[in-house]
Structure formats: structure tokens, C-alpha cells
């Protein structure tokens, strides 16, 4: 099988590529990435000479380039996206360009390649703030930020191309990922890096915001299961049912790192802040037999260890945003 992975230098994309080449060594992967803020070539340095891996610098809105790449592949996994909520509030345009127009470019091309399958990677944030319960695949879309709105828009585009043009596509939505190779602006690596530098950790909403956490490896396993066995036209939620508030996450990491338990400060809330996300993944577990196995405590300890042992990886990023306790980056 030949896979086209978009955004493969990012967090989940790079972990997915490593997972596939490890578990399916005969598969071939083309990775297209525009080398924007979340990209890091060090994430895939171990496979740079793998004969089954090819890197292409480019943007998924480039129609001619994407046509050339899609024509060579059997399946497309679309990770490419601007994904940081704060950045989308400060400037929404890159999110519209990448998350909506990039997906549109892929869909337009797939009208001519209906045998090729698209796995559209989405997010639990499309459902917005849930006061109670967990969203199933058919919950109402209710995005709160420009980021989540752009991902919801991409979902609607994919759905319309499935219905109108009969393209072969599946949409997945996942909860908050954690693990190695995640951009330092995201919560868990930001906590680890600031704690390592003995700096205070800024927390929104007095630390009450609840997120459902899943190790990135579990997410990659789920995507692999879906791309091999998923039903075209379906949606699949992916979650591990580790709902914890932000303050608890901060305290756990400070404890693992043996740092003072008061090493944080409550910061100004960003506009449109969602208090809680939660997904019901029973459909995926019952129909395709996927189940998460990594215990959160163990996964978190291993993640802390990875960041402390791979400072060269994250030191490549611009970390000036770390010094601000305001919502803007």
C-alpha cells in the first residue's frame, strides 16, 4: 500500500508515520509538509534513509502538486492543519487556508480518484463545550473557536463530497493527544518545559477545564485500524476516557518532576474558552475492535522523560511565547 500523509512533520503525523513503517514495513509513505511552525524534521530523523519513505516540501492547497502526489498513492491521511486555538483567535486566516482550503483541494482531486480512500483527521473540539455526557458521532457540531470552526467546516465539506460525488472518505475525531514530539505550545509539553526551567506555569479558567487525554500511539493505532477496516462514509470517535482537569495535569507533572507543587499561576482566560470536551468511542471499539491500553499515569511519566531527554528536539522551536501569562501568543 502507498500512503500520502499530509502534515507528517507535525506531532500526530510524525508519530503515525513511525507507527506505520514499524508495523507495516512493506508500505510506502510520501510525507508532504510545508515546514510551518509545528513541523520538525528531527521527529523523523530515524527514517530519513528508509527506502519506503519520501519527504516532499509543499502546501496541500497546491493543486498541481497534490494531483501529482495523489495519483501515486492508494490512500491519503490528512493530518495537515493549523491546530492551536490561541493562534486561531489571534489570526484566523491561516486556519481557513490550511484546514478548509487544503481539505477542499484534496476533495476536488478525489472526484477523479474515487477508488482512493481519504482519512480526514478531525477533533473533539467540533462539538464545543459539553457540560455533561460524551459526544457520539452524530452529535450536533457546535464549535467555539476559529480553529474548531475550520475543522468542522472541513468535516462538512468531506461529508458533502461523499454524498454528492461518491468519494471514498472517512472522518475521525480524537480527544486531546499527549506523548513525544508534540509542539511546546501545547499544554503538556509546555508544562514540562516551563517546570524544567523553574518558571511558573500559566493556567486558564483556574485549572477547571476538563480534557479527555489519549496517548498519541493509541491514536495512531486507531487510525491504522480505521484505514484498513473502516467503512467508507462513516465517522469514528477516538477516546481513552481519561478526563482530567488542567490543574490535575499540572500537579501530576510537577510531582513526577519533583518540582514545588505551587509552581503555577492562574492566567487570563482566552475568549470563547471551552470548559469540557468528551467523546464516546463505543462505535469504534464495538465495530472495529480497537481499545486503548496505555495507562495514563505510565504514559505521562514516559512523556515527561522523553521531553527531558530530548531537549535538542524542542529547543529548535521559538519559545518566546512561554514568557507570557496572557492568552495571546
pLDDT for the residue numbered 91? 87
Q: How far is CA 34 from CA 6, 55, 57, in A?
A: 9, 10, 5
* H-state helical runs in the chain: 11-23, 63-70, 85-90, 93-95, 102-110, 146-165, 187-196, 216-229, 246-256, 282-288, 296-309, 311-314
**What pLDDT shows up at residue 323?**
61
Which residue numbers are catalytic? 124-125, 147
**What pLDDT score does 276 carry?**
94
Q: Mind listing the domains of the chain with CATH numbers?
A: 2-177+214-238 (3.40.50.720)
**Average pLDDT per block of 10 residues along the chain, 329 residues long:** 97 98 98 91 95 98 98 97 78 89 98 96 96 96 93 98 98 98 93 95 88 97 98 98 95 98 87 88 98 97 98 85 51
pLDDT score at 181: 96
pLDDT of residue 329: 32
Amino acid at each position: 500500500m502507498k500512503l500520502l500523509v499530509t502534515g507528517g512533520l507535525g506531532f500526530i503525523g510524525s508519530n503515525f508515520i513511525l507507527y506505520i513503517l514499524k508495523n507495516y514495513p512493506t508500505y510506502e509513505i510520501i510525507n508532504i509538509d510545508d515546514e510551518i511552525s509545528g513541523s520538525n524534521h528531527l521527529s523523523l530523523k530515524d527514517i530519513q534513509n528508509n527506502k519506503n519513505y519520501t519527504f516532499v516540501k509543499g502546501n496541500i492547497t497546491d493543486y498541481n502538486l497534490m494531483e501529482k502526489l495523489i495519483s501515486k498513492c492508494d490512500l491519503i491521511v490528512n493530518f495537515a492543519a493549523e491546530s492551536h486555538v490561541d493562534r486561531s483567535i489571534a489570526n484566523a486566516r491561516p486556519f481557513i487556508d490550511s484546514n478548509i482550503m487544503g481539505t477542499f483541494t484534496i476533495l476536488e482531486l478525489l472526484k477523479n480518484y474515487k477508488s482512493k480512500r481519504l482519512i480526514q483527521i478531525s477533533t473533539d473540539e467540533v462539538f464545543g463545550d459539553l457540560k455533561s455526557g460524551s459526544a457520539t458521532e452524530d452529535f450536533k457540531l457546535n464549535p467555539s473557536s476559529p480553529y474548531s470552526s475550520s475543522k468542522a467546516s472541513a468535516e462538512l465539506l468531506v461529508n458533502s463530497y461523499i454524498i454528492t460525488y461518491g468519494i471514498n472518505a472517512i472522518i475521525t475525531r480524537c480527544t486531546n493527544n499527549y506523548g513525544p514530539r508534540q509542539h511546546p505550545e501545547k499544554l503538556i509539553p509546555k508544562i514540562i518545559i516551563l517546570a524544567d526551567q523553574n518558571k511558573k506555569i500559566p493556567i486558564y479558567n483556574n485549572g477547571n477545564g476538563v480534557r479527555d487525554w489519549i496517548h498519541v500511539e493509541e491514536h495512531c493505532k486507531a487510525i491504522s485500524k480505521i484505514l484498513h477496516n473502516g467503512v467508507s462514509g462513516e465517522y469514528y470517535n477516538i477516546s481513552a476516557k481519561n478526563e482530567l482537569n488542567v490543574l490535575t495535569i499540572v500537579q501530576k507533572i510537577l510531582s513526577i518532576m519533583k518540582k514545588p507543587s505551587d509552581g503555577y499561576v492562574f492566567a487570563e482566560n482566552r475568549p470563547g474558552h471551552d470548559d469540557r470536551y468528551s467523546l464516546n468511542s463505543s462505535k469504534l471499539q464495538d465495530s472495529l475492535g480497537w481499545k486503548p491500553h496505555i495507562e495514563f499515569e505510565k504514559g505521562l511519566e514516559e512523556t515527561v522523560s522523553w521531553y527531558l531527554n530530548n531537549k535538542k528536539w524542542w529547543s529548535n522551536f521559538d519559545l518566546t511565547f512561554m514568557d507570557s501569562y496572557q492568552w495571546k501568543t
